[in-house]
Structure 1
Amino acid sequence: MNKRHQVSPYLVYFIVYNSQVGVGILGFQRTIAAKAGYDAWIGVIVAGCFVQVFIWIMYKLLEKADGDIVDVHSKVFGNILGSVLSFIIMIYYWLASVSVLLGFIEIIQVWMFPTLPTWILGTLILGLVYYCVSGGFRVVVGVSFLSFIFPQIMLIVLYIFPLKEAHFSNLLPIMNHSYNDMFDAVKNSMYTLAGTEALLMYYPFIRDAKSSKKFAHLAVLFTTLLYTVSAIVSFTFYSEIQIKETIWPELSLIKIIRLSYLERFEYLYISMYLIIVSALLSLLLWCSTRGLKRILKKKQKNFFIILSLLSVVISQLITEQFKVTLDKYVTQMNLWIFYGYIPILLIIFTILRRRKQNG
């Protein structure tokens, strides 16, 4: 890999942060509290520990293969079967981007522009994403850096206002839910914290990749703490009935912010959030189109145009029920492929490598 196309190891921190913090943080509190109630914040911490283990597994696998997931599949299963398995993962990246896009469009239509057609919003957002992706991976990383610097300040400031009306007694008693309920909170939190699997594609683009491992773990630690704080702030502000009925708890918190010079603070917040969403979509679509380029030996630009057009068409034709189904399948794919299949793949690859060395 040409060093001109690679990025410094410390930038992995911002890439991992960008891959984990999307529209999910705006409404995950309701999902994780569905069964575990106010104990769900514990599930976020446990899920963060699982993600840390998954980061370690991915680095082990990619270090052994000295390449991305396409190289791993090719070395383990051969070109044909390996390409099929890689293709499935590239489709997952694309479906994840569609899920993020639809989620953000829904927020814009509900909170800002209810009459604006979906296809116009989808085209405008993907046009911005195309501008980022066409500049190459270094530009995608640059946008990830910006998505951390500017919106992060607003996210932290946002939590100060609800704390004035917080009731920390809501969190007591701790651990008064069953293990099954807590497992449900962990499972939902793991999807909320998903995104680190993009490392499987951009690993070769990291200069001195082994030294970037600590930055990836630090980023997961930071996002886990961020999600935990977000959950606790929401749980201490809303009643248990309110948290289960509020679709976007974090967005609804904005309503309590009163500034003399700004009446609709949510307009500024959602507009700023476009940076985060654009950075995440750029990363996911870059991973998907990069993989398809390697598998099918065609220009990456062509795949981006095709997937973008499909995304716009789907966003226009999709129903609310289909969106729920899509989110469900993307969640299941994330759990089975990355937390089930990848660890097994590491074991298979390690065994085959030892046999080859001994043979």
Structure 2
Amino acid sequence: MTEAVAGSVALLRTAVDRDWDGTPAAGPEWSCRTTAEHLAETLFAYAGRLAVRAADARVPFGITLDEGTGPADVLHVLETAGALLAAAAATAPADARAFHPHPHRSAGREGFAAMGITEVLAHTHDIATGLGLVHEPSAELCAYALTRIFPHVPPGPDPLSTLLWATGRGELPGRTRPAAWEWRNNLVLPAGRLRLHGLTPAAALDLATGGDGGFDWVASGPFQGTRDASRMLVTAYEAGAHRPEWGVFVLVRAEDGRAVGAIGFHGPPNGENRAEIGYDLAVDGRGRGYATEALRALSAWPPAREGGTRLLAMTEPDNTASQAVLIRAGYVLTRREEETGLLVYELPG
């Protein structure tokens, strides 16, 4: 966040002697001045919402600039707003959530940071284009936003052009510019004593390469199955086949914010409209019913049950603990795979 705002302000300060009120920005039908004020107000709003964990609606406040405030002072306000959002994101707990309408009515600290960065990069592009400046943010900043709130956008030739395309501001070979666009914060599902946190491509990559994915794990976690599932998610994302609603979720205890395992789909429904679910728990999380609660919650999630989708899970014949989880969640044994010998359990329609 700090880097994005600093780069924006440094570039735009080279043109504070120009007529921002009379110069239209690219993109929205606003002047460069109005676009800069909108950007600052948006960052303030994000910081306020995240700081107080606003749960149900936007916090009803805004900013009003003094009469006669020029472009240089507007940029000072922008710096202030960016610093406040950076501080709110840095101090928020890992599982903190606050209101944002798109698409699941909440976002976490990384989501708000990524939204703020996207706002800065997109609107700086608008203002710079209007003023005839060249805006070249780092690839790392663009990738930060893409891998956290644009999981549905397949990677393009480079992060900047992909982000501009994803926000309706640029072209990509072979892709039609979206008529309407929005980012997608990760989904968090309540599941009894747990919350299921949808993995972003960024978190999945960290888990797949030995990190913690940004989660506070119990001592024995994450289990290898979580890392394997994360690697599958990254592969699907890089291939343009990842669908966030059919992704992987980390199981986080509501009581202490510790992650105890993961659950998720092996991908969207296949040609037979079947979707496979897999799950695992860290050793410290076993024997407490967490897997059953998570499986029930994910199995009841509307996208998993709409359109006649049939949910299934496979388990080793000697994995009686997993079989007990499936049975408690309402799944029934339907067959045994001839090639693998795995038992197939399905959730009745």
TM-score normalised to the size of structure 1? 0.24
Larger radius of gyration: 2
TM-score normalised to the size of structure 2? 0.24
| Structure with the bigger percentage of strand | 2
Higher relative contact order (CA 8 A, sep 6+): 1
| Structure with the bigger percentage of helix | 1
